[in-house]
Amino acid sequence: MKPSTLVIGPGAVGLALAAGLRNAGRTVALLGRTPAGEKRLTEGFLVTGPDRRTRSIRTGLISAHALTTPPTAAFFCVKSGDAASAATSAKRWIGPDTAVVALQNGIGHEKVFRRTFGARRTVIGVCYFAADRPAPGDLRLNGGEDVLLARRPGNETALATAAGILTTAGFRAHIKDGEPGMLWTKAAFNAAVNPLGAACAVENGRLIEDPALREISLKALAEAAAAAEAAGHPLDYSDMADKLLLSGRNAPHQRNSMLQDLAAGRRTEASAILGPLLAAARARSVPAPTLELLGAVVARLERRLAVSSPRPAARPRP
């Protein structure tokens, strides 16, 4: 079998990676939530780009269970709360030289992956591209192609492997010196966009176009930045407000990940994204009323969801 890349969690981000990898001619192995869902995706899926043109990905997709040799790299695209179980489930396919790339939102999962796979193989990253999965076999790409990867002592070989694969797949891979600034910056960005968009059930463009929503989003960003700085992790960029507004203009039709989760009847990543920011704010007496309110609203929506359709969250299977 040709060298392959394993994608664990083929949701919106995972399928976006799979589409790019297939365009680069790489065999892509998928490890999904359920056998039926995984089988359906290995038979192909549709990709609609920002230009609204649709293409089909039909070949070069296999089940992780069909792997006979370790993949060159494994990209974990599961929800932050599923990081530990996904790492355990996928461990059987990870070889001694497989680069393990974790692309979760939030803060804290990095320890899970280093503990499971070791610091040498592990690369922590974040994505800044807009992908939506409105239906099981339907992927919408709404803009952006940036992936940030963190350098740590000892992971240079895995880092180079991950960056090379992403670059050939059409993504812009940026190397960051250290994880904290990268992770806290992404958490602040997500905190300013995701819970508000989910609570109001609006696409990212509306958060920028509507004056009231834009003001709330920028207040949430300012509170998140203050909390991160108080925790000793100032954001990587001084122009975060401008970047937030630009992202909404560049991908106006994007449903953020929390909105996608609620629409699909899943729990969100609010605790992994908002939790560390709110904990830092409370511990250091940094006012964060907007983040507190947004966290409470999303928690209420999740409780209503649990009451209306109680079911355990599905995870990648062993």
The span from the CA of 77 to the CA of 129, in Å, is 13
How far is it, in rounded angstroms, from Cα 131 to Cα 133?
7
What's the pLDDT at 307? Answer: 65
Q: Which pLDDT score, from 0 to 100, does residue 1 have?
A: 53
In tens, the pLDDT along 218-243 reads 999 999 999 999 999 999 999 999 99
Taking the alpha carbons at both ends of the chain, their separation in whole angstroms is 21
pLDDT band at 315 (very low <50, low <70, confident <90, very high): low
Contact 125, 149 (CB under 8 A): yes
**SS3 category, 216:** helix
CA separation, residue 208 to residues 29, 81, 116, 124, 241 (Å)? 38, 29, 40, 30, 11
Q: Residue 316: pLDDT above 90? A: no
* pLDDT higher than 80, residue 125: yes
179-196 residue pLDDT tens: 999 999 999 999 999 999
Confidence (pTM): 0.94
pLDDT of residue 2: 65
Q: Which CATH architecture has domain 4-177?
A: 3-Layer(aba) Sandwich (3.40)
Tell me the per-residue pLDDT of 250-283, one tens digit each, with 9 for 90 and over.
Answer: 999 999 999 999 999 999 999 999 999 999 999 9
Q: What is the pLDDT of residue 318?
A: 57
**Statement: residue 309 has pLDDT above 60:** no
How large is the C-alpha radius of gyration of the chain?
19
Please report which helix (H) or strand (E) contains residue 52, including its range: none
Q: Would you kindly state where each structural domain of the chain is located, as residue ranges?
A: 4-177, 181-308
Read off the pLDDT band of 34 (50, 70, 90): confident
Query: Measured in whole angstroms, how far is the alpha carbon of residue 131 from the centre of its chain?
Result: 10
- Provide the pairing of β-strand 54-57 with 45-48: antiparallel
Q: Where are the alpha helices (DSSP H) in 91-153?
A: 109-117
Phi/psi at 55 (5° precision) = -130, 165
Q: What pLDDT score does 305 carry?
A: 83
Would strands 73-76 and 61-63 be described as parallel, antiparallel, or unpaired?
Answer: unpaired
Which pLDDT band, with edges at 50, 70 and 90, does 248 fall under? very high
Specify the pLDDT at position 306. Answer: 74
Which CATH architecture best describes the domain 181-308? Answer: Orthogonal Bundle (1.10)
- In the predicted model, what is the mean pLDDT of residues 169-181? 96
Beta strand extents in the chain (DSSP E only): 4-8, 27-31, 45-48, 54-57, 61-63, 73-76, 99-102, 122-135, 138-151, 172-177
